[in-house]
């Protein structure tokens, strides 16, 4: 290292000598000194600390081969520790470092402001888009008498599950601690999306911008878990919709509806998937809920009620859990075996190799509003959507027409097959 000592004007000859010894660098080792402060002090009659103070006060060491990376100024050291800590190849003087920091801070502030303005612009555009959308919705609200039967049922389920106390808005699914809207969140979102697209639920422009993003095509990406809506109708109209949904005429119109059948099947499927997910989680398994799995459960539900499919699922997951304990069987292997187990149990029950059984609902997962409205209200039997197949329920419409008897007699007779289970069938 190339260095030069620069003495202060008031340095005496003795102090210059002390400084010279203080800064004498050993040539064989990097950043090490020939004399210790103690040795110099002993020679001149000072303590070690006094030597450091004298050196600092009367001289500085200029490092000739260390220049500021920005302005080229030579580095100077007043103490040995400064020299030891010096990184010769990447040193920047205090002034330049300060200036660089100021520039970096200014750039950062400019960039932050630019981002803030962009975000404000995005928010303004989103609010304008939402307001336009809401205006369009206001002009497109269907007359109450034009609401389809399915939308009518879905709207009643929404009112009963997430309708706020004032019956003007919904609460978000996130905040709903009462009766769930449907068995699974994906069906909740499907219901809300449908009612929103049909202008039965309207964007609440006060805070919707927090839960909506504008897509590239001017479409809206909605967080259905957090958003809340305004109802398109007033309290009296909503009240009437609830009453009408319980009426005989309304009920009779549903029997022939293919869409009603599809919704009933979908609701039952979601209920079974929810149970499959829950049982699998409890056993640290995670089967793929693919179209193939859904198709298999759909087949099960054609012949067996949710209550019986619960039994099939329960056994299938228990078998997979035992399988996992075998050597060389991974979690994925065991999870993948659930599909085959469900299929096997279905076949065994169908071929009378396994006795079918009904399972009860789990108290942590109560009946959802959509199940109450689509099943209990229509057939007037508590939780009949859980205890009966869609086919059996729909057939009850036909038998009612033929025999002109209460359809519930047939359903109750059918339930007598399940001798192991007590079924309560109170009238609603
Ligand atoms: Zn500099």
> Are 81 and 156 within one domain?
no
Beta-carbon contacts of 137 under 8 Å, excluding residues fewer than 6 positions away, are: 199, 202, 203, 232
CA distance between the termini of the chain: 96
The answer to whether 174 touches 224, Cβ cutoff 8 Å, is: no
- Does any domain span residue 109? no
- Does any domain span residue 106? no
> Are 76 and 173 within one domain?
no
Ligand 1 mean position to 106 CA, how many Å?
A: 19
> Are 122 and 192 within one domain?
yes
Ligand 1 mean position to 23 CA, how many Å?
A: 24
> Are 269 and 363 within one domain?
yes
Ligand 1 mean position to 69 CA, how many Å?
A: 7
Supply the range of the domain harboring residue 45: 3-92
Ligand 1 mean position to 97 CA, how many Å?
A: 7
> Are 268 and 318 within one domain?
yes
Cα 124 from chain centroid?
A: 26
- Does any domain span residue 23? yes
CA distance 393 to 407: 9
Which sign, positive or negative, has the C-alpha torsion 206, 207, 208, 213? positive
Ligand 1 mean position to 103 CA, how many Å?
A: 14
Ligand 1 mean position to 254 CA, how many Å?
A: 84
> Are 309 and 191 within one domain?
no
Ligand 1 mean position to 91 CA, how many Å?
A: 9
Total domains, the chain: 3
- Does any domain span residue 43? yes
Q: Choose the final residue of a domain: 182, 211, 245.
A: 245
The answer to whether 127 touches 205, Cβ cutoff 8 Å, is: yes
Ligand 1 mean position to 113 CA, how many Å?
A: 30
Ligand 1 mean position to 88 CA, how many Å?
A: 14
Ligand 1 mean position to 70 CA, how many Å?
A: 5
Ligand 1 mean position to 3 CA, how many Å?
A: 18
- Does any domain span residue 212? yes
> Are 201 and 283 within one domain?
no
Q: Which of 20, 15, 17, 18 is nearest to 5 (CA)?
A: 20
Q: Choose the final residue of a domain: 245, 273, 307.
A: 245
Ligand 1 mean position to 9 CA, how many Å?
A: 25
Per-residue pLDDT of the chain (428 residues; tens, 9 = 90+): 889 999 999 899 999 999 999 999 988 777 789 999 999 999 999 999 999 999 999 999 999 989 998 899 999 999 999 998 888 888 999 999 999 999 999 999 999 999 999 999 988 988 888 898 899 999 999 999 999 999 999 999 999 999 999 999 999 999 998 899 999 999 999 999 999 999 999 998 888 888 888 887 777 888 999 999 999 999 999 999 999 998 888 888 887 789 999 999 999 999 999 999 999 999 999 999 999 999 999 999 999 999 999 999 999 999 999 999 999 899 999 999 999 999 999 999 999 999 988 898 888 788 999 999 999 988 888 899 999 999 999 887 766 554 444 444 444 444 433 333 333 333 33
Ligand 1 mean position to 94 CA, how many Å?
A: 7
> Are 68 and 157 within one domain?
no
Q: Choose the final residue of a domain: 46, 61, 92.
A: 92
> Are 211 and 323 within one domain?
no
CA distance 67 to 58: 23
**Maximum separation of any 2 CA atoms in the chain, in Å:** 128
The predicted model scores a pTM of 0.71
Rounded to 5 degrees, φ, ψ at 206 are: -65, -40
> Are 203 and 301 within one domain?
no
Ligand 1 mean position to 77 CA, how many Å?
A: 15
The answer to whether 426 touches 408, Cβ cutoff 8 Å, is: no
């Amino acid at each position: 290292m190339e260095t030069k000592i620069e003495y202060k004007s008031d340095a005496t000859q003795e102090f210059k000598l002390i400084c010279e010894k203080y800064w004498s660098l050993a040539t064989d080792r990097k950043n090490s000194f020939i004399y210790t402060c103690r040795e110099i002090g002993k020679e001149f009659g000072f303590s070690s600390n006094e030597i450091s103070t004298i050196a600092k006060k009367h001289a500085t060491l200029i490092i000739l081969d260390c220049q500021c990376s920005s302005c080229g100024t030579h580095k100077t050291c007043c103490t040995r520790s400064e020299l030891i800590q010096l990184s010769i190849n990447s040193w920047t003087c205090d002034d330049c470092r300060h200036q660089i920091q100021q520039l970096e801070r200014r750039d950062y502030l400019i960039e932050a402001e630019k981002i803030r303005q962009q975000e404000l612009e995005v928010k303004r555009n989103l609010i304008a888009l939402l307001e336009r959308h809401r205006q369009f919705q206001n002009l497109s609200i269907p007359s109450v008498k034009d609401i389809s039967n399915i939308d009518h049922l879905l709207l009643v389920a929404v009112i009963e599950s997430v309708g706020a106390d004032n019956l003007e808005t919904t609460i978000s699914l996130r905040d709903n601690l009462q009766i769930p809207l449907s068995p699974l969140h994906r069906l909740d979102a499907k219901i809300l999306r449908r009612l929103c697209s049909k202008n039965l639920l309207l964007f609440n422009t006060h805070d919707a911008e927090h839960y909506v993003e504008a897509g590239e095509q001017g479409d809206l990406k909605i967080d259905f878990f957090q958003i809340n809506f305004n109802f398109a109708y007033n309290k009296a109209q909503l009240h009437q919709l609830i009453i009408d949904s319980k009426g005989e005429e309304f009920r009779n119109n549903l029997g022939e509806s293919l869409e009603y059948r599809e919704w009933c099947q979908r609701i039952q499927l979601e209920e079974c998937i929810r149970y499959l997910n829950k049982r699998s989680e409890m056993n640290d398994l995670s089967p793929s809920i693919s179209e193939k799995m859904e198709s298999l459960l759909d087949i099960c539900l054609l012949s067996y009620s949710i209550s019986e499919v619960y039994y099939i699922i329960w056994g299938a997951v228990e078998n997979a859990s035992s399988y996992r304990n075998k050597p060389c069987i991974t979690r994925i292997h065991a999870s993948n075996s659930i599909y085959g187990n469900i299929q096997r149990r279905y076949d065994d029950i169908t071929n009378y190799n396994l006795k079918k059984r009904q399972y009860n609902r789990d108290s942590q997962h109560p009946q959802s509003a959509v199940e109450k409205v689509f099943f209990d209200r229509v057939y007037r039997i508590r939780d009949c959507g859980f205890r009966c197949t869609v086919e059996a329920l729909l057939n009850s419409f036909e038998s009612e027409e033929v025999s002109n008897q209460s359809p519930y007699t047939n359903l109750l007779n059918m339930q007598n097959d399940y001798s192991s289970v007590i079924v309560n069938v109170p009238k609603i």
